[in-house]
Amino acid sequence: MYKKVELQKGFVGMENDVAKMWKDKDIIKKSLNGNQGKRYFTFYDGPPTANGKPHVGHIETRVIKDLIPRYKVMKGYRVIRKAGWDTHGLPVELEIEKKLGISGKQQIEEYGVEKFVKQCKESVFEYVHLWEEMTNKVGFWVDMENPYVTYHNEYIESVWWALKQMWEKGLLYEGHKVMPYCPRCGTALSSHEVAQGYKDVKDLTCIAKFKVLDGQKFEKDTYILAWTTTPWTLPSNLALCVNKSYEYAEVKANIGTDDEPVYENYILAKDLLETVLKETPYDVVKTFKGEELLGTKYERLMPFGEVEGKAFEVIHGDYVTLTDGTGIVHIAPAYGEDDSYVAKQNGITFINLVDKEGKFVKKVEPWAGRFVRDCNEDICKWLKQENKLFSKEKHMHSYPHCWRCDTPLLYYPKESWFVAMSKLRDELVENNSKVNWYPETIKTGRFGKFLENVIDWGISRDRYWGTPLPIWTCEDEECGHQECIGSIAELKEKGIDVPEDIELHKPYIDNVYLKCPKCGKKMKRAKEVIDCWFDSGSMPFAQWHYPFENKEMFDNNFPAQFISEAVDQTRGWFYTLTAVGTALFNRTPFENCIVLGHVLDEKGQKMSKSKGNGVDPMELLNTVGADATRWHFYTCSAPWLPTRLSLDNVKETRKRIFKYIMECILILCIICRNRPIQSIEI
C-alpha cells in the first residue's frame, strides 16, 4: 500500500506561518540592509494616497515591483526599497469635506482653514494599516518603517528647492490662460490630470443661426450656421471661425412646406451640406473660399452683458475641420484654449459671464445663478423662440471630468503659475528616447506623443492642503518685486519674525511676510498651493531631503534602474518624474519602466464600485493565498496587457501550481527510487 499523506494546513495557512517567521527573524529588514558596500540597483516606489483603501490593482503593482528588486538582491546588489505616501491634494480635502458635512471653498473657510488643514493632516494615514496588511500579506518587501511622506517639512523644503531652481532658470511664470477648471473644487487642472478623467457622455448639441448684417455681399436674411457641443457658451459668443482654405456655400433653403414655403439663406461648408441640411430642401446660391468670409459682420446672438471692442465677425483658424459640425466654429474666448488663442490672434475682445462656481452671473438674466451645463436645454429653447436655432440633437462625445470628484470640467479663464514645459519639449523627447519602456510602443506612442505635444504645466491650485507655492510679492503694486524662496534657512533670513518651528503649510505660512529689498515694504505669499503631482514627481530627491542632506545617497541612487505602475500613470507619475527630472537635471529619473495593464473582472469589464464587480484584495489573499495570486499576475498574460481576475480564475491558477509541484515530487521520488506518493489531499 502506498502511504497516504495529508497536508493539514492549506497554503494560506503556510503563508501566514512564513510571514510570521519573516517577522520574528527580521528577514525583510535584513534583506533591505543587505549587500552593504556593494553596487546599487535603484528602485523607486511610486507613492499611493494613504487616505484611500487599496484595491486589487495595487496587488498587481506590488507583485511586479517586488520581482526585480528581489532578484537583484540575490545577485548581490544593494537595493534600497523606500516606501512613500502621497498625502496632499484634493483626495484628502474631499474626504474631510464629507466627514464634516460641508461642501466647497466657502464652507471650508467658514469652518476655518487651520482646523480644516489639521483635519486633513490627521486623516492621511486613516487606512495605512490596510496598506501595510496587504503589503505584508502579498510579500512585497519594502521599507514601510522609514517612508518618505510628502507633507513632512523636509520633503516640502526639497520641493521648494526644486521650484527655486526652476525660477532661476526662467521656467516659472505667472500667466492668464483658459484652463480646464473644476467648479466643484474651485481649482484649475493640469493637462496630465485632465487626461485621466475623460468619459463618454451624451450631451445636447445645437446648430445656431448667426444673422449676417445687411450689406455684407449676401442675400437678405442670410444666416451663418455654427455647431457647438456646449450651448451654454453661446451667450458669450464673440466671433465665428472658418478655415480660409475650405470651400463654403450659400444656399437657399425651404424651412417651410411645399405648399407654404419659407426661405432662409444659410452659409456653411460645401462638403457638409448633405450632412447638415439632411431633409431640408435647398438650392446652392454660390460657392466660395473661406477667405471670402473673413471680416463678415453678424448680429450678436444673445444680448447678455456689455461687449466693448472688436467682436461679432468671421475670423480664420487652422484648427477648423470638416469632420463634424458645419465647418464653422463659434468662438467664446473665455471657455476654450483654441478659442482664446485664435481670438487673441485676431484682436477679438473678451467677456466672461460665468462665475467661479460654474454658474451664470446676474447679467445672464434668464439663467442667473444656475450651473451652466444645466442650462443647455433652456438656451436651445430661447434660441428657437428667437428664430436663432437651426437644429439640436444629443451627441455622444468624450468630455473631461475632474479625476478626483467626477464633476464635469469647464474651460475657464484663470490666473495661474506655470512651469514652461514647452521650452523643454525637445529635451523631454530626447530624454524619453533613452528610456527602455515595456512595452516599447509606449515610448513613441502614448507617452512619446504626449511629450511631443506638451504644454506649459499649470502648477498652482487655489486650495488649502498642499505644498505652499513659495513665491512672495511686494504689497506695493508699483514696486511689484517677487521672490521665490528655496529653503527654510532662506525664509528665516529674509522673513519677518519667522517662528523657529514654522510649519510649511497654510495658514501658518501665510502669516510669514518678507521685507522687500527694493522698497522696504511687506511682501506677501501667493495664496496658492501646488499640484500634488509635483510632490510625487519630486520623490527621487525629496525622499532624501536633497540637497540639504544625504547628497551621497541621492547621487548613488539617481536615476532609478527600475520603476513600474499602471498605464494611467503615463500622464501621471511617469510624466511628472520626467518633467521635474528634465527641468532640474536634464534627464529622465528612470532607465527602465514596466507599464502595467489594468485589472479587469472575469468578463473583461473594468472594475468599479457602481458595477459591484470588484474583487476585495484581502478576500482574495485570504481565500486563495499570496503565492497563487502572485503567480496569476506573473503568468496569465504579459504585464502590460489587461488582466482578467476573479476568485475562480485565481483558484484555477492555484490548481496548476499544485499540479506542477506534485509532478516535481513524483519525479523526485522516481529519481530517488522511492515509491511514489499515492495521494495528497489539500
| pLDDT, mean of each 10-residue run, the chain (682 residues) | 39 72 86 91 91 85 93 94 92 90 90 96 89 90 93 98 97 86 79 75 90 83 92 95 93 86 91 90 91 93 92 91 90 88 89 90 93 94 94 84 81 88 96 96 93 91 95 91 96 93 95 92 94 95 97 96 93 94 97 92 76 81 85 86 82 74 70 55 41
- Give the span between the Cα atoms of 628 and 621, in whole angstroms: 9
Question: Rg for the chain (alpha carbons), in Å?
Answer: 30
- Give the span between the Cα atoms of 397 and 129, in whole angstroms: 41
The whole-number pLDDT of residue 49 equals: 84
Q: Are 581 and 432 in contact (CB under 8 A)?
A: no
Task: State how beta strands 457-458 and 282-289 pair.
Answer: unpaired
Residue 471 three-state SS: strand
Residue type, 216: Q
The answer for residues whose C-beta is within 8 angstroms of residue 115's C-beta and 6 or more apart is none
Note if the bond before 507 is cis, omega within 30 degrees. yes
- Give the span between the Cα atoms of 535 and 530, in whole angstroms: 8
Task: State how beta strands 592-596 and 563-566 pair.
Answer: parallel
Look-up of cell digits 480664420: 316
As a residue count, the chain comes to: 682
The whole-number pLDDT of residue 4 equals: 37
Per-position DSSP letters for 553-570, written without gaps between them: HHHHT-SBSBEEEEGGGG
The whole-number pLDDT of residue 12 equals: 67
Instruction: Beginning with the edge strand found earlier in the chain, give each strand of the sheet holding 513-515 in spatial order.
Output: 482-484, 471-474, 522-525, 513-515, 495-496
Residue 12 three-state SS: helix
The whole-number pLDDT of residue 673 equals: 60
Residue 607 per-residue DSSP state: P
Look-up of cell digits 464633476: 407
Residue type, 62: R
- Give the span between the Cα atoms of 156 and 159, in whole angstroms: 5
- Give the span between the Cα atoms of 195 and 515, in whole angstroms: 41
Q: What ranges do the domains of the chain cover?
A: 7-151+550-564+573-644, 166-196+408-532, 199-400
Q: Are 235 and 305 in contact (CB under 8 A)?
A: yes
- Give the span between the Cα atoms of 467 and 150, in whole angstroms: 8
The answer for residues whose C-beta is within 8 angstroms of residue 511's C-beta and 6 or more apart is none
Q: Are 269 and 249 in contact (CB under 8 A)?
A: yes
- Give the span between the Cα atoms of 167 and 276, in whole angstroms: 51
Q: Closest Cα partner for 47 from 16, 89, 15, 10?
A: 89
Separation of first and last alpha carbons in the chain: 20
**CATH assignment of 166-196+408-532, among 3.20.20.100, 3.40.50.620, 3.10.310.30, 3.40.50.11900:** 3.40.50.620
The answer for residues whose C-beta is within 8 angstroms of residue 390's C-beta and 6 or more apart is 206, 207, 208, 209, 223, 225, 266
Third-level CATH fold of 7-151+550-564+573-644: Rossmann fold (3.40.50)
How many degrees, rounded to 5, is the angle at CA 63 between CA 62 and CA 67?
A: 115
Residue 531 per-residue DSSP state: -
Q: Closest Cα partner for 628 from 607, 608, 645?
A: 645
3-state secondary structure 434-447: CCEEECCHHHHCHH
Q: Which residues are catalytic?
A: 47, 86, 533, 569, 573, 606, 609
> In sequence order, what E strands does 303-402 have?
313-316, 329-331, 389-400
Q: Are 150 and 467 in contact (CB under 8 A)?
A: yes
- Give the span between the Cα atoms of 87 and 125, in whole angstroms: 8
The whole-number pLDDT of residue 6 equals: 39
- Give the span between the Cα atoms of 220 and 265, in whole angstroms: 8
Q: Closest Cα partner for 616 from 54, 14, 212?
A: 54
Domain 199-400 classification at class level: alpha beta
Cell, residue 71: 532578484
Residue 328 three-state SS: coil
The yes-or-no answer to whether 7-151+550-564+573-644 and 199-400 have a common fold is no
Residue 111 three-state SS: helix
The pTM for the full model equals 0.81
494, containing H or E segment: helix 488-494
Which residues, in sequence order, are bridge partners of residue 239?
A: 313, 331
